[in-house]
Structure 1
Amino acid sequence: MKYLLLLVFLAVLWWIFRRPAVSGGNDIRAEQKPPESMYCCAYCGVHFPASDGEEAGGRHYCSSEHRRASGQ
């Protein structure tokens, strides 16, 4: 019985000392870019990030093919 208690005690200690090391790795959020603006394609209605699309005539398109298909 005393070995079981010792094992549980060691497991709890391991969990306590391991936890701060794991939570310290969550600093990735500080390095992430801010969220991008999302637009709706004027041709097909698909939502896409601003960096992936094109703008023509004040309208946003998800691809150059859709921009050309709409006549812009």
Structure 2
Amino acid sequence: MKYLLVLAVLWVAIWLWRKNRREEMHDAMRERAAKARQQQRTAPSQPQAMVRCAHCGLHLPATDAIAGPGGAVYCSTAHREAATQQ
């Protein structure tokens, strides 16, 4: 009878230990997945070429710049018009 009680206590202890290990592994996997999602969201995009507005000197991405006469670039149509009127 005494051995049966010891065996039952051992069985419960092993069951609890394995249950906790499984939960820890699931938590670690969730954390890894969350970190991977965070890294994907914050991954930097490709660098863009920067140009300088010929009127005010503002630096802006070349894709947002507005072309003007003589190869000059401007940050807005108002600056392009102001530069051409002078």
TM range (shorter): 0.5 to 0.7
Please list every run of at least 4 consecutive aligned residues from structure 1 whose deviation after the TM superposition is greater than 3 angstroms. none
Specify which structure has the bigger relative contact order, considering alpha-carbon pairs within 8 angstroms and separated by 6 or more residues.
1
Stretches of structure 2 lacking an aligned partner (at least 5 in a row):
1-19
Task: Return the TM-score normalized by structure 1.
Answer: 0.62
Q: Percent identity?
A: 35
Distance between the aligned counterparts of 2:46 and 2:36, measured in 1?
21
Q: 1:70 corresponds to which residue?
A: 83
How many residues are matched?
62
- Please, what is the CA RMSD of the aligned residues? 2.8
Instruction: Decide which of 48, 66, 79 is 1:36's aligned counterpart.
Output: 48
Higher strand share: 1
Task: Return the TM-score normalized by structure 2.
Answer: 0.54
